[in-house]
Amino acid sequence: MPPDAEELRRRTEEGKKAMEFKDLVESVNYDILEQTKFGLSSTVYSLGEDKKDFAPDVLNYFSESEVSIRFNEDTKKLHISWKLPEEE
């Protein structure tokens, strides 16, 4: 039996959220890369009201990486730091 309209709406909403999360993570990674190019080892990334609910997922995503990240609930900003690659 095909899914009903409510199930299709739920799946669509889940798909949208997954794409938004993927875009957010790619944006954070891009910011890290750009800052690293300029010799910086930290950045502050503003999630804003519309993305603040993603904060726990972002923290979890980066938890096993070389990136240190924390979320300030008051300002809705991610404070991110990392070690710069050693120059050869």
The answer to the question of residue 37 being in a domain is yes
The answer to the question of residue 88 being in a domain is no
On whether the CB atoms of residues 24 and 64 are closer than 8 A, the answer is: no
Q: Would you state the torsion angle of the CA atoms of residues 46, 33, 40, 68, taken in this order, to the nearest 10 degrees?
A: 60
How does pLDDT run across 57-86, given as a tens digit for each residue? 999 999 999 999 999 999 999 999 999 887
The answer to the question of residue 13 being in a domain is yes
The answer to the question of residue 86 being in a domain is no
The answer to the question of residue 57 being in a domain is yes
Enclosing domain of residue 34: 5-81
The answer to the question of residue 32 being in a domain is yes
How does pLDDT run across 5-21, given as a tens digit for each residue? 888 899 999 999 999 99
The answer to the question of residue 87 being in a domain is no
The answer to the question of residue 49 being in a domain is yes
Look up the pTM and report it.
0.85
Number of domains forming the structure of the chain? 1
